[in-house]
């Protein structure tokens, strides 16, 4: 018996370590997609690529614990292909409702992201046979109905009873849960319809929160009603899960003012549906709240609201104080008067809290600037669920337009919020900042916050991608891109916070001036075990200011998950965390280099011999690289003028080959650089877009002086 | 005896040609104008002689005596007059022209001024009108794309300088002889002194000939930029009521931009708008040959007007049994009396039921609804049915047709708004579709619907109306669509030249287009990673210039002054369009709905409303428009008003006395079911469902959101591709392919024979229930298909057929086939 157990264990262990073209799991859906606070429930995670040997589940935010329910082992001689995995969730009663990022850690690596919805009401899973009115699934309210628009022409019907006149919220989440799914090349666009007992439509919603519907409806007549949900195009997909929260509580869309100060009491007015008669609340946000967008629950008397995005700032806030500011001339009425006497004057820096109260409303704010002052004007509205699609202008005192902006780009994604990033005052004088809705709409929910600040040099960082899986003996690498702002030219030194024990990181730098990319190479010692942890990537730099002073700058990287675009391109979507995972060695067990510290003279080439230790039965192609390339170039940490000589390098190792070469050539114009960290990688294609990347030890390239 | 007979014959024949006699009373006739002023060489004017009543008054029923009158000038050296009553200036001075009818005589003072020894002939004032009158500048002649014979003129003289150059300078100036004007090709060809492909257009020594000759003699001067332009034409008489055989001389007066007026009868162009009823010659003499009501269109130098002719079918009608349900009936009956038309009686209940269901919801009633309605003895049941169909009862248990109503009218408006996936993302099409469904379900006011479309902006995925500018994605398309859809005006012609039948110029066209000059779009990522929707926005700049003058044109509504808005010009346009004071707006939509419900608009085509295409019943048009505007532009109330009228409920069978009426609704105009409605009706009758691509089974044809579906039936029955905003894109005409399809096609045959269809179910005995008898089956088939019970004769015939059929199944399938192929099924009647 003991021999049998040992044999089984050994076989299992072998099953875990012997693999070919191993891929980390790519999560596709959760079924049901929601869990209720204060309950324990089971959810099935569906994936592409196996989740066998799943060990744990990582969830952002607090109050939600999850554990893998191991599937039955049916065959011991072969690694099972686990594409559906049950997970048990225990959700604390005080867990904050909302959407969380979720990953599964397996022996193949930590997965891509799926999104879980934490809700306050009982979760009702869809009965698969609810596709006709006759088969409508009875539900009891309040509830969160979770289902799937699983195929073309699928229409899901539910029926519920109203005993007395009441107002109900129907809040659908579906499309919004799909942007972080790595390989879902078409997204849902649900439409919700409510019918009375006679089958007549009484309300419908298509796109309220982007593609997701939302209804607040007053039911005056008791009786039975039908809820119908489908894709607006009558298409479907097995991964198009949805959650419809149905309840009679208040729903807060946004609040005014939008910008608040950490640790400081703020009086807010909730804006939304089915609100209390007095929708105002007093909120004192925690003093340790991070700056930026935070989702906070408003303290209504009966119970806290749903989380509402608010902007936490350290800058002084100014509230729009007058209605009579809807034309430039109204805020600069007397050029000779002191600006401090004007009603809609602002001092810089500040965050203006305002609202476009009615259709066609325009808000103007006056400010003073000196010649060559550089200022930034950033609207935060749409990103905080305001209905505003802003457009802003800077006008001079005669009303001429000096600068304007409609939509801005933040990192890799565009937004309907506006941003004049760097405006230079042409002369000393008074100017006007004007904001309105691009479509001349207005109303309670058209709130905004405008951050007005000096446009000093700074930088942003983007981490590509969102996870690094590596093993003892084979390193991992991640790439970081810099976005230089307002003339920032410095070098950026990268840092990592939150490394688990047994894991070290060689943090590279992003070269100054035109340098765009840097990398970090992770190494795990055997003592690291099966470490897994979210990490924070930071960058620091020193920038010379105009007055000659040196200022220290820092930034935390935004993490982007790679996504598979329709047709095969590689896209990005921001996620909450970058996760490191130390996993058992699989396809590539080691990468040995003949040299890891290379010095090149301008015009010189040098070759690094690369020896790959493959897993015994792993014969698939391996491509060597010193950049991050998936059909196109995404990151290049080589010093300027240094390139990979494709003709002299042997980068494609096919049919089980283990020997390759990397030849680097410095051009004759290459400038001197000391020890620039580059990522030398061995890559295995998983599909048209995605690769598994293994890194060699850190390689440093120096370009000597001529 | 023979002499007596001869005397009688002579007297009779003499009376046939007798001069018109004076009416009793002091005068007997009047002459229009009472006084004439002729200015310039060869100026002309037309006298119109009208019989007066005993009180000396003339009116629309007064006979025209012009061509029976005798005219004589007191001084032919000053002014001459011909037998048609046309006076011609000869020399400065004053003379009297006598007009004699029988023994009665009147005199008209004619004053002539500014006759010069050398005639001053202006290119704008005289030459161009002569060329237009002669037809030289028609699109079929010298205004063709490449002209004729190398001689190119602009259409209707829209390019004066260009025309003058063509006449005077082109081809080495070969067309004119300034030294011997009479030898000019320009004169010899149209007078056929030389071969001319266009035939004889001028007579030598005619007034027009002499004017052209004088112009050449004076050096063929260029157009005077300051010459006054025609701003209006008026026609006398504006309306005539008479009998077949009536003759009427028209007189046309033009008003110019400098305030002057001029008789242009000789130069105006005349067109009968109903050749079967009357003809009109080039001198403006109308001859009526049939009964009815139709206008003569009169055009001069870009302006147009009508003279309306009403020839009653009978002298008087009693309208026995007629009751006015509302103002529609009052005004319709007034027209019946005016025209002497006796309307058909009311239709029966079964006919009304089917008609109302189809017109309001595009759907047939169920058998249960049919039997309940037919059995109902409530005197107000028709009105109550209309209220239920339109969802106006307020009781959710009765307002159960709202979804069908909204689907049906969404289909109609999707055709008009060209909502299709062709060249656009599917979600945009769905967005507009679902918006329309909501609009009609909630009965949004029509002015709001139009305002939302015209001022639409935002995401095409989230905001249905924004797709209006995906479809009409440039100013000219937006212009043509907007004016045709919401004002009933066809402006396409004015894009390139002055509108031939209306007063709209290119300036009007492009001035309207200026409202849309700043419409643009931007991309958006709001629908996430793969969203890819576009957003309609308004830019800060963008103008439209006149294509010929290059002048920037401010945004200007039709027949109005420029208007604007600091942020979005379309807001000003929407304000103007939807104003209660804008008669065009309300008239356009009520006309459409009259067309949809009554089979023909008061103006036909429904989207070709112009002064030269007047409504068949102007007071009814005005009253409906006012009623609609006063109701808050409530479409359901408009439909209710029309459907509750007696007029709407008349039988579709014309009587012997009104069979020739095609315009005045004396009987209900039969119309073929639309493709979608017909397919649904066939499915209802046969107990089947049609599966449409990418839509779940159970989706009805009237619910189809897109333009094209690979469905043979819908294509044969002319489901439109939504390529045009014209109502005419959905052809109501029947054709052979459709007939063959229903007679011989597989689709119908398969539906009738469907193993789960109605006949199969009727022949299958239900558990614990006796099998249906022959009579029950036949009744059900008639109720399902025709919404009525079979008559005794029909029932008897069906029994005979059963006896001769191969099997009951074959009998009933054949019977259902026959019912579906009957006119009673295929048409709304």
Ordered by start, the domain boundaries in chain B are 29-113, 123-217, 230-311, 418-577, 675-716+734-828
CB within 8 Å: A389 and B458: yes
Q: What is the rounded distance in angstroms from the CA atom of residue B208 to the CA atom of residue B214?
A: 10
CB within 8 Å: B537 and A196: no
Which of the 8 DSSP states describes residue A516?
-
CB within 8 Å: A413 and B396: no
In 3D, which of A54, A50, A37, A170 has the Cα closest to residue A105? Answer: A54
Give the pLDDT of residue A19. 40
Query: Between chain A and chain B, how many beta carbons pairs sit less than 8 Å apart?
Result: 107
List the beta bridge partners of residue A678. A699
CB within 8 Å: B696 and A210: no
More confident residue, B626 or A329: B626
* HEC string for B18-54: CCCCCCCCCCCEEEECCEEEEECCCCEEECEEEECCC
CB within 8 Å: B396 and A360: no
Q: What is the rounded distance in angstroms from the CA atom of residue B503 to the CA atom of residue B301?
A: 9
Which of the 8 DSSP states describes residue B127?
I
CB contacts of B434 in chain A (<8 Å) are 191, 204, 206, 232
CB-side neighbour CA atoms (13 Å) of B232: 9
The pLDDT-based confidence of A18 (bands split at 50, 70, 90) is: very low
Q: Which of B430, B540, B696 sits opposite A153 (nearest CB)?
A: B696
Which of the 8 DSSP states describes residue B225?
T
Pairing, β B458-459 against β B534-538? antiparallel
Question: Can you tell me the mean pLDDT for A210-226?
Answer: 96
Helix, strand, coil percentages for chain A (3-state, nearest 5): 5, 50, 45
CB-side neighbour CA atoms (13 Å) of B479: 26
Residue A255, φ and ψ in degrees, nearest 5? -145, 160
A239 touches chain B (CB under 8 A): no
Q: What is the rounded distance in angstroms from the CA atom of residue B429 to the CA atom of residue A619?
A: 50
Residue B75, φ and ψ in degrees, nearest 5? -150, 95
Burial class of B492 by CB neighbour count within 10 A (0 to 12, 13 to 18, 19+): middle
Assign B333 to helix, strand or coil. helix
* HEC string for B227-258: CCCEEEEEEECCEEECCCCCEEECEEEEEECC
Nearest CA in chain A to B462: A207
Q: What is the rounded distance in angstroms from the CA atom of residue A419 to the CA atom of residue A390?
A: 9
| Residue A383 in this model has a pLDDT that exceeds 70 | yes
Specify whether the CB–CB gap between B717 and B678 falls below 8 A: yes
Q: Is the peptide bond before A142 cis (omega within 30 degrees of 0)?
A: yes
Pairing, β B552-553 against β A190-195? unpaired
Q: Which of B523, B527, B529 sits opposite A563 (nearest CB)?
A: B529
Q: Which of B524, B528, B696 sits opposite A155 (nearest CB)?
A: B696
DSSP-derived secondary structure for A470-503 = EBTTBBEEEEEEEEEETT----EEEEEE-PPTTE
Q: Would you state the torsion angle of the CA atoms of residues A174, A178, A180, A181, taken in this order, to the nearest 10 degrees?
A: 130
CA angle A24, A30, A32 (to 5 degrees): 165
Low-confidence ranges of chain B (pLDDT < 70): 1-27, 499-501
Take residue B75 and report the two structure tokens written for it. 């001084």
Take residue A91 and report the two structure tokens written for it. 């959700």
What is the number of other CB atoms lying within 10 angstroms of the CB of residue B551? Answer: 9
Take residue A128 and report the two structure tokens written for it. 């698969």
How far is A380 from chain B, CA to nearest CA, in Å?
A: 15
Give the pLDDT of residue A1. 42
More confident residue, A586 or B485: B485
Nearest CA in chain A to B421: A233
Question: Can you tell me the mean pLDDT for A380-401?
Answer: 94
The CATH code belonging to domain B230-311 is 2.60.40.1080
Q: What is the rounded distance in angstroms from the CA atom of residue B535 to the CA atom of residue A391?
A: 14
Options 2.60.40.1080, 1.20.1050.10, 3.20.20.70, 2.40.420.20; which CATH number does B29-113 get?
Answer: 2.60.40.1080
CB within 8 Å: B531 and A416: no
Q: What is the rounded distance in angstroms from the CA atom of residue B826 to the CA atom of residue B674?
A: 9
What is the number of other CB atoms lying within 10 angstroms of the CB of residue A134? Answer: 7
List C-alpha distances in Å: B61 to A341, A405, B168, B236, B338. Answer: 78, 69, 49, 13, 12
Specify whether the CB–CB gap between B254 and B230 falls below 8 A: yes
CA angle A245, A246, A250 (to 5 degrees): 95
Q: Which long-range contacts (CB under 8 A, 24 or more apart) does A502-507 make?
A: A502/A526, A502/A527, A502/A528, A502/A529, A502/A531, A502/A582, A503/A528, A503/A531, A503/A580, A503/A582, A506/A677, A506/A698, A507/A677
Give the pLDDT of residue B211. 94
CB within 8 Å: B528 and A189: no
Residue B335, φ and ψ in degrees, nearest 5? -70, -40
Q: Which of A175, A204, A563 sits opposite B438 (nearest CB)?
A: A204
Give the pLDDT of residue A20. 52
Q: Which of A152, A200, A573 sits opposite B399 (nearest CB)?
A: A200
Which of the 8 DSSP states describes residue B467?
G
**Which of residues 178 through 197 in chain A touch B, CB cutoff 8 A?**
178-179, 185-187, 189, 191, 196
Which of the 8 DSSP states describes residue A345?
B
A574 touches chain B (CB under 8 A): no
Specify whether the CB–CB gap between B639 and B597 falls below 8 A: yes
In 3D, which of A543, A508, A512 has the Cα closest to residue A522? Answer: A508
List the beta bridge partners of residue B529. none
CB within 8 Å: B694 and A206: no
Q: How far is CA A381 from the centre of its chain?
A: 18
How far is B722 from chain A, CA to nearest CA, in Å?
A: 19
From the DSSP assignment, how many helices (H) and strands (E) are in chain A?
2, 61
Q: Same CATH topology for B29-113 and B230-311?
A: yes
| Percent of chain A surpassing pLDDT 90 | 82
Domain architecture of chain A: domains with CATH: 2-119 (2.60.40.10), 141-247 (2.60.120.380), 251-313 (2.60.40), 317-455 (2.60.120.380), 459-581 (2.60.40), 588-703 (2.60.40.10)
Question: Can you tell me the mean pLDDT for A586-599?
Answer: 95
Take residue A269 and report the two structure tokens written for it. 């007015």
Q: Which of A234, A416, A439 sits opposite B526 (nearest CB)?
A: A416
Q: Which residue has the tokens 């936490």?
A: A312
A563 touches chain B (CB under 8 A): yes
| Residue A8 in this model has a pLDDT that exceeds 70 | no
Task: Provide the H-helix boundaries in B314-425.
Answer: 327-339, 349-361, 367-375, 381-389, 402-417
Q: What is the rounded distance in angstroms from the CA atom of residue B824 to the CA atom of residue B786?
A: 7
CB-side neighbour CA atoms (13 Å) of A405: 19
List C-alpha distances in Å: A213 to A137, B60, B410, B444, B530. Answer: 20, 63, 21, 21, 18
| Residue A560 in this model has a pLDDT that exceeds 50 | yes
Specify whether the CB–CB gap between B322 and B346 falls below 8 A: no
Give the pLDDT of residue B125. 92
Comparing A244-258, A481-495, B46-60, the range with the smallest average pLDDT is B46-60
Q: Which of A196, A211, A234 sits opposite B696 (nearest CB)?
A: A234
Give the pLDDT of residue A332. 64
CB contacts of A206 in chain B (<8 Å) are 430-431, 434, 462
CB-side neighbour CA atoms (13 Å) of A103: 30
Mutant choice from A389, A417, A446 vs B, greatest count of B C-beta within 10 A = A389
Question: Can you tell me the mean pLDDT for A639-657?
Answer: 95
Cα-atom radius of gyration of chain B, to the nearest Å? 32
What is the number of other CB atoms lying within 10 angstroms of the CB of residue B378? Answer: 10
Q: Would you state the torsion angle of the CA atoms of residues B784, B790, B795, B797, taken in this order, to the nearest 10 degrees?
A: -90
Give the pLDDT of residue B27. 54
Take residue B815 and report the two structure tokens written for it. 């019977």
Assign A397 to helix, strand or coil. coil
Nearest CA in chain B to A438: B537
Q: Which of A187, A382, A416 sits opposite B530 (nearest CB)?
A: A187
Q: Which residue has the tokens 């799991």?
A: A25
Q: Which of A196, A201, A563 sits opposite B441 (nearest CB)?
A: A201
Provide the ipTM: 0.91
Q: What is the rounded distance in angstroms from the CA atom of residue A699 to the CA atom of residue A688?
A: 28
How far is B383 from chain A, CA to nearest CA, in Å?
A: 22
| Residue A10 in this model has a pLDDT that exceeds 50 | no
| Residue A338 in this model has a pLDDT that exceeds 80 | no
Give the pLDDT of residue B10. 38
Cα-atom radius of gyration of chain A, to the nearest Å? 28
Chain B residues contacting A via beta carbons under 8 Å: 396-397, 399-400, 402-403, 406, 426-427, 430-431, 434, 437-438, 441, 457-459, 461-462, 522-531, 535, 537-538, 540, 567-568, 571, 694-697
How far is A394 from chain B, CA to nearest CA, in Å?
A: 14
CB within 8 Å: A232 and B427: yes
């Amino acid at each position: 018996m003991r021999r049998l157990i040992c044999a089984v264990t050994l076989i299992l262990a072998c099953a875990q370590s012997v693999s070919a073209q191993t891929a980390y799991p790519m999560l596709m859906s959760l079924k049901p997609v929601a869990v209720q606070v204060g309950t324990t429930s089971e959810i099935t995670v569906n994936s592409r690529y196996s989740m066998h040997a799943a060990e744990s589940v990582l969830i952002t935010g607090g109050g939600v614990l999850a554990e893998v329910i191991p599937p039955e082992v049916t065959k011991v001689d072969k690694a099972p292909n686990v594409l559906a995995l049950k997970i048990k969730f225990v959700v604390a009663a005080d867990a904050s409702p909302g959407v969380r990022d979720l990953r599964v850690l397996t022996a193949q690596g930590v997965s891509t992201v799926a999104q879980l919805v934490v809700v306050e009401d009982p979760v009702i899973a869809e009965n698969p046979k609810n596709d006709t009115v006759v088969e409508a699934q009875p539900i009891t309210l309040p509830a969160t109905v979770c289902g799937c628009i699983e195929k073309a022409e699928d229409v899901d019907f539910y029926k519920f009873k109203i005993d007395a006149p009441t107002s109900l919220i129907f809040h659908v989440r579906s499309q919004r849960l799909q942007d972080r799914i790595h390989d879902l090349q078409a997204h849902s666009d649900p439409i919700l319809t409510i019918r009375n007992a006679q089958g007549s439509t009484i309300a419908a919603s298509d796109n309220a929160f982007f593609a997701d519907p939302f209804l607040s409806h007053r039911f005056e007549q008791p009786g039975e009603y039908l809820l119908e949900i489908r894709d607006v195009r009558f298409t479907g997909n097995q991964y198009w899960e949805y959650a419809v929260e149905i309840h009679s509580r208040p729903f807060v869309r946004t609040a005014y003012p939008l910008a608040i100060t950490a640790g400081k009491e703020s009086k807010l007015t909730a804006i939304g549906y089915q609100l209390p008669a007095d929708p105002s609340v007093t909120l004192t946000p925690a003093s340790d709240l991070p700056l930026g967008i935070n989702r906070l629950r408003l303290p209504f008397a009966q119970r806290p609201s749903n989380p509402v995005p608010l902007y936490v700032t350290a800058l002084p806030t100014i509230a729009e104080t007058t209605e009579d500011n809807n034309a430039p001339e109204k805020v600069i009425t007397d050029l000779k008067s002191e600006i401090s006497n004007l009603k809609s004057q602002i001092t810089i820096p500040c965050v203006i809290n305002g609202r476009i109260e009615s259709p066609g409303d325009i808000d103007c704010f006056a400010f003073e600037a000196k010649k060559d002052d550089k200022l930034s004007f950033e609207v935060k509205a749409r990103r905080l669920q305001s209905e505003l699609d802003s457009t802003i202008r800077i006008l001079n005192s005669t009303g001429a337009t000096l600068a304007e902006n409609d939509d801005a780009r933040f990192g890799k994604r565009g937004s309907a919020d506006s941003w004049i990033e760097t405006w230079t005052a042409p002369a000393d004088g008074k100017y006007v900042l004007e904001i309105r809705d691009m479509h001349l709409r207005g109303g309670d929910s058209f709130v905004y916050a405008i951050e007005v600040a000096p446009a000093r040099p700074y930088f942003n960082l983007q981490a590509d991608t969102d996870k690094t899986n590596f093993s003892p003996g084979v390193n991992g690498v991640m790439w970081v891109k810099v976005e230089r702002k307002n003339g920032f030219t410095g070098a950026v030194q990268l840092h990592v916070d939150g490394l688990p024990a047994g894991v070290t990181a060689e943090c590279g730098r992003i070269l100054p001036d035109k340098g765009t990319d840097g990398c970090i190479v992770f190494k795990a010692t055997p003592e690291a075990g099966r470490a897994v942890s979210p990490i924070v990537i930071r960058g620091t730099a020193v920038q010379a200011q105009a007055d000659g002073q040196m200022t220290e700058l820092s930034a935390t990287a935004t993490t982007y998950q790679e996504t598979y675009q329709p047709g095969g391109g590689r896209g990005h979507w921001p996620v909450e965390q970058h996760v490191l995972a130390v996993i058992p060695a699989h396809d590539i067990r080691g990468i040995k280099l003949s040299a890891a510290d290379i010095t090149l003279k301008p015009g010189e080439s040098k070759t690094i011999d690369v020896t790959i230790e493959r897993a015994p039965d792993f014969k698939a192609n391996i491509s060597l690289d010193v950049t991050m390339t998936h059909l196109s170039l995404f990151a290049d940490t080589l010093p300027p003028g240094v390139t990979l000589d494709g003709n002299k390098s042997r980068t494609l190792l096919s049919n089980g080959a283990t020997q390759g070469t990397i030849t680097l050539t410095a051009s004759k114009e290459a400038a001197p650089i000391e020890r620039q960290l580059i990522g030398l990688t061995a890559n295995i294609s998983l599909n048209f877009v995605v690769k598994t990347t293994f890194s060699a030890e850190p390689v440093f390239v120096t370009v000597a002086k001529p | 005896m023979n002499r007596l007979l001869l005397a009688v014959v002579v007297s009779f024949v003499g009376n046939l040609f007798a001069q018109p006699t004076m009416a009793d009373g002091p005068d007997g006739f009047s002459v229009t104008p009472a006084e004439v002023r002729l200015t310039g060489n060869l100026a002309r004017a037309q006298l119109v002689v009208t019989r007066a009543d005993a009180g000396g008054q003339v009116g629309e029923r007064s006979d025209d005596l012009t061509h029976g009158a005798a005219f004589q000038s007191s001084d032919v050296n000053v002014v001459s007059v011909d037998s048609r009553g046309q006076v011609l200036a000869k020399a400065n001075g004053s003379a009297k022209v006598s007009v004699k009818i029988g023994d009665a005589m009147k005199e008209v003072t004619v004053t002539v001024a500014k006759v010069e020894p050398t005639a001053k002939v202006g290119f704008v004032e005289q030459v161009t009108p002569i060329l237009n009158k002669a037809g030289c500048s028609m699109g079929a002649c010298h205004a063709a794309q490449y002209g004729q014979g190398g001689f190119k003129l602009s259409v209707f003289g829209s390019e004066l300088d260009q025309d003058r150059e063509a006449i005077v300078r082109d081809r080495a100036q070969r067309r004119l002889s300034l030294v011997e004007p009479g030898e000019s090709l320009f004169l010899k060809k149209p007078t056929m002194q030389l071969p001319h492909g266009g035939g004889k257009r001028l007579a030598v020594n005619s007034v027009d000939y002499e004017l052209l000759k004088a112009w050449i003699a004076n050096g063929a001067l260029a157009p005077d930029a300051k010459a006054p332009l025609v701003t209006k034409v008026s026609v006398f008489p504006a309306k005539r009521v008479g009998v077949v055989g009536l003759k009427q001389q028209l007189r046309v007066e033009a008003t110019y931009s400098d305030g002057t007026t001029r008789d242009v009868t000789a130069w105006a162009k005349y067109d009968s708008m109903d050749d079967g009823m009357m003809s009109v010659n080039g001198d403006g003499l109308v001859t009526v040959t049939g009964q009815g009501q139709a206008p003569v269109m009169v055009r001069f130098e870009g302006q147009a007007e009508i003279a309306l002719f009403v020839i009653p079918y009978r002298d008087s009608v009693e309208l026995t049994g007629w009751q006015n349900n509302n103002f529609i009936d009052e005004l319709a009956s007034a027209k019946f009396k005016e025209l002497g038309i006796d309307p058909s009686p009311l239709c029966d209940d079964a006919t009304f039921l089917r008609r109302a269901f189809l017109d309001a919801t595009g759907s047939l009633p169920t058998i249960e609804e049919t039997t309940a309605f037919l059995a109902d003895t409530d005197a107000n049941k028709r009105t109550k049915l209309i209220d239920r169909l339109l969802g106006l009862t307020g009781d959710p248990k009765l307002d159960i047709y709202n979804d069908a109503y909204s689907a049906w009218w969404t289909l109609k408006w999707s055709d008009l708004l060209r909502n299709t996936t062709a060249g656009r993302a599917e979600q945009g099409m769905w967005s507009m579709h679902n918006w329309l469904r909501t609009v009609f379900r909630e009965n949004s006011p029509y002015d709001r619907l139009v305002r939302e479309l015209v001022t639409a902006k935002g995401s095409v995925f989230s905001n249905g109306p924004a797709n209006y500018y995906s479809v009409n994605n440039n100013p000219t398309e937006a212009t043509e669509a907007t004016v045709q859809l919401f004002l009933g005006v066809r402006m396409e012609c004015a894009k390139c030249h002055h509108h031939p039948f209306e007063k709209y110029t290119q300036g009007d066209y492009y001035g309207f287009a200026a409202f849309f000059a700043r419409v643009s779009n931007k991309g958006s990522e709001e629908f996430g990673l793969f969203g890819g929707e576009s957003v309609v926005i308004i830019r800060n700049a963008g103008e439209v210039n006149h294509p010929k003058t290059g002048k920037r044109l401010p945004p200007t509504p039709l027949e109005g002054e420029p208007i604007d808005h600091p942020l979005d010009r379309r807001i000003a346009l929407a304000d103007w369009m939807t104003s209660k004071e804008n008669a065009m707006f309300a008239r356009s939509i009520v006309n459409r709905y009259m067309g949809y419900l009554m089979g023909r608009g008061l103006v036909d085509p429904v989207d070709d409303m112009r002064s030269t295409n007047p409504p068949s019943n102007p007071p009814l048009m005005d009253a409906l428009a006012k009623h609609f505007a006063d109701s808050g532009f409530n479409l359901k109330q408009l439909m209710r008003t029309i459907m509750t009228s007696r007029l709407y409920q008349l039988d579709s069978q014309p009587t012997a006395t009104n069979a020739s009426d095609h315009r005045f609704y004396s009987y209900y105009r039969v119309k073929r079911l639309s493709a979608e409605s017909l397919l649904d009706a066939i499915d209802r009758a046969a107990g089947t469902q049609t599966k449409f691509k990418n839509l779940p089974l159970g989706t009805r044809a009237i619910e189809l959101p897109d333009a094209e579906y690979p469905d043979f039936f819908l294509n044969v029955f002319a489901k439109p591709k939504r390529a045009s905003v014209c109502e005419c894109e959905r052809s109501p005409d029947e054709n052979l392919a459709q007939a063959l399809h229903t007679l011989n096609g597989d689709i119908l045959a398969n539906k009738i024979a469907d193993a789960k269809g109605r006949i199969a179910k009727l022949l299958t005995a239900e558990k614990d229930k006796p099998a249906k008898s022959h009579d029950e089956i036949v009744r059900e088939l008639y109720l399902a298909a025709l919404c009525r019970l079979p008559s005794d004769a029909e029932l008897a015939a069906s029994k005979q057929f059963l006896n001769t059929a191969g099997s009951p199944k074959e009998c009933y399938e054949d019977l259902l086939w026959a019912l579906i192929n009957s006119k009673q099924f295929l048409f709304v009647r």
